[in-house]
Amino acid sequence: MADEITRRPPGAHALLARILEDPALVRHVQSLEPRALGRLIDRVGLEDSAELVALATTEQLQRIFDDDLWHAARPGQEERFDPARFGLWLEVMLEAGERFAAEKLTELPEELVGLALHRQAIVLNLDERALDLSESKEEEDLVDKVLDGVLSEEIGEYLVIARRHDGWDALVRVLLALDEAQHDFLVGLLDRCAHASQSYIEDHGGLYDVLTSEEMLESDAAAERDDRRAAEGFVSPSDAAAFLGYARVTSLEKLMSSSERDPITRTYFRRYERRARPSDAPSTPLAELLEETEEAAPARPLLGAGDGGDELLVTRALVALSVRNAEAHAHRVDELGYLANVLIAGATRAGRRYRPFEAAEAALALCDRGLAQLLDGSRDVARAAELLVSASADKLFRIGWHLDGAALSA
């Protein structure tokens, strides 16, 4: 815990105190965009953010969980649910009270809560197990000996067995709170997890095997999460890797001549719900305070912008397009956001993930490279703006990635 505190940005606790001491700012916590609230919690440190978490709406927590509870070992790989991180969130939620934590869990997606419990524990239906005659007496005795030495809690006809020790006390507390306040919900949750555990037992031969049918539960939760995140502009690592791979292996001639989008991008924009940009959203005192205290990232172009460091042609063309054709300009801007997220999810820079501002700059630079290729090196802004009316940013990016992607990912 001490190490966590030393890594926090200076002034984080002062910022939290300033918010909590001002009733006007407290009221505005629930009006924050979920990602903004998530950044605030990161600044303060999750362990010290119980007061903020207690103020958060279920929708805010759900969106924050979509970001915070899933991680990939490296860009391009599938993100996996992090049960240890969920256990820490559960402890923080419990600081606001057991009833609060129980109520929040009942309001979150059932697939997410089921996955979280399954990754924390094995659940057995004791009544069904008593009727199961498939195990020999020797096997029963062996299982009983194992159960005597593990962390477990009996709740009604269910036995909940710890998969991991960290977070176990918090899990038991919230399950008992659910049993008292939301009994029917808990029974449904335990029954769902018991079926998953039973599937594991039948398929793998006993309680000793490491993995269960968690892949099935994780797939359900991941699918719902992907749907929510796609509506907000996120790209899954597998989709990002597929998009970049398509651009790399497709011939330059085909990329330049084709007017059709690749399947990944078509699917993305069918699911994407355009939302008001931050500049369109009403400002609040709390939002203004966060803007004041957040450090601005320095601008560092990743690719050359032309002779003498001139402004990118694509940037100047977009400015011209905003005057000439506002609708086309809005589409290109949406596409640039998508492309930046592709880089964050599916590419690396110097062996690490792209930071958001780096990904935005790289997406622009790659589009500029593709635009120059289509214009055969011309720097005519009017001609470039005309091309952008019909040529999508993702087409320009694919051309640029085909030409320069290997160097960018080195």
What pLDDT score does 222 carry?
66
Q: Where are the beta strands (DSSP E) in 63-157?
A: 70-71, 80-81, 121-125, 152-155
- Give 222: exposed, middle or buried? Use CB within 10 Å, 0-12, 13-18, 19+: buried
Work out the average pLDDT over 393-405.
Answer: 94
Question: Is the sign of the CA dihedral 160, 161, 164, 166 positive or negative?
Answer: positive
For residue 383, the model assigns a pLDDT of 95
Give me 91's structure tokens.
Answer: 């402890």
pLDDT value at 302 more than 50: no
Helices in 9-155 by DSSP H: which ranges?
A: 12-20, 23-28, 34-44, 50-55, 58-68, 83-95, 98-107, 110-120, 126-131, 137-148
Please name every residue paired with 71 in a beta bridge, in sequence order, or none if there are none.
80
Banded pLDDT at 79 (limits 50, 70, 90): confident
Spatial neighbors of 262 by CB under 8 A, at least 6 apart, are 243, 246, 247, 394, 398
The CA distance from 305 to 299, in Å, is 13
Q: Would you say 293 and 15 are in contact if contact means Cβ atoms under 8 Å apart?
A: yes
Cα distance between residue 201 and residue 207, in whole Å:
6
Alpha carbons 137 and 180: distance in angstroms, whole number: 36
Structure tokens at 328: 């086309």
Query: pLDDT, tens digit, for every residue of 182-209?
Result: 999 999 999 999 988 877 666 655 544 4
Please name the residue that has the structure tokens 């949406």.
Answer: 334
| H or E stretch at 321 | helix 313-324
DSSP label at 150? S
User: Residue 233 and residue 274: Cα distance in Å, rounded?
Assistant: 8
pLDDT, mean of residues 163-174 = 86
- Cα 41 from chain centre: 15
Q: Residue 344 carries which DSSP code?
A: H
Q: Which residue has the higher pLDDT, 34 or 286?
A: 34
AA letter at 108: L
E-strand spans in 157-286? Answer: 158-162
Q: Which of 2, 7, 168 is nearest to 86 (CA)?
A: 168
Quote the CA–CA distance of 243 and 240 in Å, as a whole number: 5
pLDDT at position 139 is 62
Q: Confidence class of residue 301 from pLDDT cuts 50, 70 and 90? A: very low
Q: At what angle do helices 214-230 and 110-120 cross, to 10 degrees?
A: 140
- What residue type is assigned to position 184 of the chain? D
The residue among 143 and 317 whose pLDDT is bigger is: 317
> Average pLDDT, whole number, for the chain?
80
Residue 117 confidence (pLDDT) above 90: yes
CA 197/CA 207 separation, integer angstroms = 9
Q: Rg of the chain over CA atoms, in angstroms?
A: 25
Q: What percent of the chain has pLDDT over 90?
A: 38
- In which band, very low, low, confident or very high, does the pLDDT at 307 lie, cut at 50, 70 and 90? very low
- Among residues 313, 306, 304, which one has the least CA distance to residue 382? 313
Domain borders along the chain are: 57-119+165-228, 234-408
Query: What is the arithmetic mean of pLDDT over 311-326?
Result: 93
pLDDT of res. 315: 94
- Length of the chain equals 410
- For the residues 366-386, what does the mean pLDDT come to? 94
pTM of the model: 0.60
More confident residue, 133 or 370: 370
Residue type for 328, please?
A: A
Residue 296's CB is within 10 A of a number of other CB atoms, namely 7
As beta bridge partners, residue 349 has 352
Q: pLDDT tens digits, residue range 205-263?
A: 554 443 333 444 555 566 667 667 766 667 878 788 889 988 988 899 999 998 888 88
Residue 283: which pLDDT band, with cuts at 50, 70 and 90? low
